[in-house]
């Protein structure tokens, strides 16, 4: 029977409580059943992210694959839809799916991700090129990000009022203006939805391929803003943070062929949302404690810095 990584089991149970514990207990059986059905045998230890366990597998006479089984959560429903639309363009191929089990059999790529690359320009450029490749028309049935704008605005107002935070009135107003002006008018373009360096893996068919998409229809600059937010801790080492942020915007938007100003505005909104999220829920990397506070303060600084830039 396949071993479920201990950290994955613990993280799931911490986050999901009893429902998570029940699912973790069932998971080895689910994996075994799917391996049998799809003619696979395990080929190495399981990897994991925050929501899914990923088992490398071999299939007789077919390319190496991985079995990914995600925690059954609404946020994980559209991952296979996105892979199916891309058909291998900029992302790993989808071989099989079992939606009831939140399971997929995916093309296997290398066990190395873009987060391991040291050259910051290269990280951002590759993420931009991937974003460009993923930007194709979104089919009906995928979640439209424009429909979330109302809820985003409400959360911003509530968080700004309820939480203790150092963000100025102007930072909040600028974020709300972005939601109003960009949030509600997003195109029907398929975007990744959780674009960051650890979700871009080294491959052979293309040099890098995306995994772990949310599969939203929305503005590709939303992904650019998210990417920038996730680079903030890496940029902190720079002598001049403002210049480093400007550089990230330049490199990403040139590779992705998208508008720089739009991307800056989305990044500002993402930073404000993350500053509030960190205060309410913590981050995956640090749910509480001093590391959580450091990350929250990084988001405060980024939000402020992106507000001042016009
Ligand atoms: N197609 C794949 N080929 C090889 N390794 C993969 C593949 N998909 C995922 N992985 C490995 O599993 C990890 C978690 O996968 P991911 O889809 O990002 O899960 P999560 O949704 O939990 O974040 C990745 O960081 C990577 O190490
Ligand atoms: Mg991931």
Percent of the chain with pLDDT over 70: 99
- Pick left, alpha or beta for residue 282 (phi over 0 → left; psi -120 to 50 → alpha; otherwise beta): left
Q: Which structural domain, as residue segments, surrounds residue 51?
A: 6-107
What's the pLDDT score for residue 88? 98
Q: What is the pTM of this model?
A: 0.96
243 lies in the same domain as 98: no
Q: Dump pLDDT digits (tens) for 249-270.
A: 999 999 999 999 999 999 999 9
CATH number of residue 289's parent domain: 3.90.1200.10
Does 302 map to a domain?
A: yes
Query: Taking Cα atoms as reference points, which of 229, 210, 212 lies closest to residue 134?
Result: 210
Q: Is 194 a catalytic residue?
A: yes
Q: Dump pLDDT digits (tens) for 222-249.
A: 999 999 999 999 998 888 889 999 999 9
- The ligand that comes nearest to the alpha carbon of residue 202 is 1
- Ligand 1 neighbour 49 (Cβ under 6 A): yes
Beta-bridge partners for 91: 210
For the chain, the domain total comes to 2
- Ligand 1 neighbour 233 (Cβ under 6 A): no
**297: Cα separation from own chain's centroid:** 21
């Amino acid at each position: 029977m396949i071993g479920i990584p201990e950290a994955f089991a613990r993280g799931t149970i911490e986050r999901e409580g009893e429902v998570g514990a029940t699912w973790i207990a069932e998971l080895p059986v689910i994996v075994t059943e799917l391996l049998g059905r799809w003619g696979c045998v395990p080929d190495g230890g399981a990897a994991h992210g925050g929501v899914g366990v990923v088992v490398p597998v071999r299939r007789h006479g077919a390319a190496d694959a991985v079995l990914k089984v995600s925690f059954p959560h609404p946020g994980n429903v559209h991952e296979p839809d996105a892979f199916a639309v891309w058909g291998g363009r900029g992302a790993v191929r989808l071989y099989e799916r079992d939606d009831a089990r939140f399971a997929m059999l995916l093309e296997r790529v290398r066990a190395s991700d873009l987060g391991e690359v040291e050259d910051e320009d290269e990280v951002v450029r590759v993420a931009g090129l991937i974003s460009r490749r993923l930007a194709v028309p979104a089919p009906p049935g995928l979640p439209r990000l424009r429909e979330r704008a109302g809820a985003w605005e409400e959360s911003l107002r509530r968080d700004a009022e309820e939480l203790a935070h150092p963000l100025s009135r102007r930072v909040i107003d600028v974020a709300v203006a972005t939601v109003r002006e960009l949030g509600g008018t997003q195109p029907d373009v398929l975007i990744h939805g959780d674009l960051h360096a650890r979700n871009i893996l080294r491959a052979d068919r293309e040099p890098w391929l995306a995994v772990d998409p949310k599969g939203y229809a929305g503005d590709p600059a939303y992904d650019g803003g998210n990417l920038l937010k996730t680079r903030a801790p890496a940029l902190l080492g720079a002598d001049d943070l403002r210049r480093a942020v400007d550089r990230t915007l330049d490199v990403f938007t040139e590779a992705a062929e998208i508008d720089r100003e739009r991307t800056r505005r989305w990044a500002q909104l993402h930073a404000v949302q993350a500053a509030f999220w960190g205060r309410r829920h913590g981050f995956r990397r640090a749910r509480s404690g001093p590391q959580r506070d450091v990350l929250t303060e990084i988001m405060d600084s980024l939000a402020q810095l992106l507000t001042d830039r016009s």
